[in-house]
Amino acid sequence: MGELVLQEMVESKIFIIRGFKVMLSADLAKLYGTGPKVLIQAVKRNIERFPGDFMFQLTPEEARNSWSQFVTMKQGQNLKYLPYAFTEQGVAMLSSVLNSERAIAVNIQIMRAFVKLKKNLLAYKKLYQKIGELERKVGKHDEDILVIFEAIRQLMAPPPDKPRRIIGFKQQ
C-alpha cells in the first residue's frame, strides 16, 4: 500500500464523535490487517492503558447513526458488537499493544494524519480570525464613509431659506 494512498485512507477514517476526533475500531482493524475482535481483545488485555479519553464504546444510537454517516456497515446488517472509538492518544497507545511491523507503520501514518488535521484546523481558525478582523475594519470604514457622504450632502445642499424681510408699508 503506497504511503500517499494510506495517508488519504487514514484521513478519510477520522471522525468527530462526542467532540473528539476518533477512528473506529473496525477501520483501525482493517488498517492493521487484523479483525476487529482481535483488536478489541488486545485492548481489553491492556485496558489500563485506555482510559475514557483514549477510547470509548459507541452507544447503540451512535452506532446506528454511524452506519449512514461512516458507511462502515451495509444496510440491513445487524451489529453484533458496538464499535469502539479511539482518540489520537488511544491510537498512539495501540502501537504499544499491537506490536507488529505493519501496526507500527500504520500507526506512524495515523499519527501523521492526526497532525495534518490539527494543522488544517489551526489554519482554518487563523483564517476565520482574519476574516473577522477584516469585517470589523470594513465595518468601521463603512461608518467613516457614511459620515463623509453625509458631510458632502450637507455641503451640496442649498442654504436654507432665511425668512425675508418684507419691504414696503405695513397696514395697521
The answer to the question of residue 164 being in a domain is no
Containing structural domain, residue 67: 3-120
The answer to the question of residue 141 being in a domain is no
Residue 24: what pLDDT? 92
The answer to the question of residue 15 being in a domain is yes
- Please answer whether residues 106 and 38 qualify as being in contact, where contact means their C-beta atoms are separated by less than 8 angstroms: no
- Please answer whether residues 91 and 31 qualify as being in contact, where contact means their C-beta atoms are separated by less than 8 angstroms: no
pLDDT in tens, 101-160: 777 777 788 888 888 877 877 777 777 777 777 777 776 677 777 778 777 777 777 766
pLDDT in tens, 54-79: 999 999 888 887 665 555 455 445 56
Q: Which of 127, 119, 117 is nearest to 88 (CA)?
A: 117
Residue 124 one-letter amino acid: Y
CATH of the domain at 12: 3.10.260
The answer to the question of residue 160 being in a domain is no
Count of domains for the chain: 1
